[in-house]
């Protein structure tokens, strides 16, 4: 690279192209550039909000925004896909059951059109709780704890303690990303703990995920493909992903 600006632009391009990249991968691409120079570049680019530094590498700004941005901002992305997913998910709602609804923009869209049937609903999501207020036949329990302002959800020990004695017939879970090696992931350790608790307590585990999240790497693994029973997606399901679902006996809608 002839100049510092060209080198840093090359790093930004690499990060954006791969969404998430390790320090070793950057070093391999930028031959004859010292480790110290690369670290200085990453620090400067992170400060300029061109990339996001993580332990051992970097992520694209779009990747992080897609995973851990304020719920209000996420809600305006892929709106049509979220609506399709929500409509499909309603077909999995059964009367006289106990369900858990996770936090997130897609699950909030689902809560907005949740059928008004006789059932018991638990949620740690403030936005879902607001949408569920319209129901007259369901009993809605809002789990309380420390508020995550990004996901507008309650997290922490108090939430996990409230969930402990409850057995869910179905858990409707959101995710921020999926790769075949890491499984379903998110960017908040606290949110992830709630998701994992719901998974362990549910007979049927339903993941609501739009197709744009496939191929993105997240920081905290919720579970692998083999741990869910159903996945509800938009109409752009990659064939490779569909085949993996078949292999793992996962129903896809």
Express each pLDDT in 28-78 by its tens digit.
988 889 999 999 999 999 888 788 888 888 887 655 544 444 444 444 455
Query: What pLDDT score was predicted for residue 2?
Result: 67
Distance, CA of 197 to CA of 192 (rounded, Å) = 9
Determine the Cα angle at 104 with ends 223 and 108, to 5°.
Answer: 125
Query: What's the rounded Cα separation, in Å, for the pair 183 and 225?
Result: 6
Instruction: Please choose, from the candidates 20, 74, 26, 6, the residue with its C-alpha nearest in 3D space to the C-alpha of residue 51.
Output: 20
Q: At what angle do helices 105-112 and 79-89 cross, to 10 degrees?
A: 50
pTM higher than the cut 0.85: no
User: Which pLDDT value is given to residue 66?
Assistant: 47
Residue 212 has pLDDT above 60, yes or no: yes
């Amino acid at each position: 690279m002839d100049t510092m600006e060209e080198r840093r632009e090359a790093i930004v391009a690499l990060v954006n192209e791969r969404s998430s990249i390790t320090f070793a991968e950057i070093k391999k691409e930028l031959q004859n550039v010292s480790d110290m120079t690369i670290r200085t570049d990453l620090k400067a680019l992170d400060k300029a909000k061109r990339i996001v530094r993580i332990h051992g590498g970097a992520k694209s700004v779009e990747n992080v925004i897609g995973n851990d941005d304020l719920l209000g901002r996420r809600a305006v992305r892929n709106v049509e896909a979220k609506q399709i997913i929500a409509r499909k998910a309603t077909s999995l709602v059964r009367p006289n059951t106990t369900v858990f609804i996770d936090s997130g923009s897609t699950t909030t869209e689902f809560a907005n059109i949740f059928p008004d049937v006789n059932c018991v609903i638990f949620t740690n999501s403030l936005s879902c709780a607001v949408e569920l207020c319209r129901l007259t036949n369901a009993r809605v329990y809002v789990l309380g704890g420390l508020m995550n302002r990004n996901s507008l959800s309650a997290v922490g020990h108090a939430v996990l303690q409230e969930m402990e004695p409850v057995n869910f017939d179905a858990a409707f879970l959101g995710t921020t990303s999926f790769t075949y090696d890491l499984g379903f992931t998110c960017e908040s350790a606290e949110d992830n703990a709630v998701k994992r608790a719901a998974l362990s307590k549910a007979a049927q585990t339903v993941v609501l995920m739009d197709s744009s999240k496939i191929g993105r790497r997240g920081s905290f693994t919720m579970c692998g493909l083999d741990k869910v029973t159903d996945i509800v997606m938009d109409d752009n399901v990659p064939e490779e992903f569909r085949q993996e679902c078949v292999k793992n006996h996962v129903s896809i809608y």
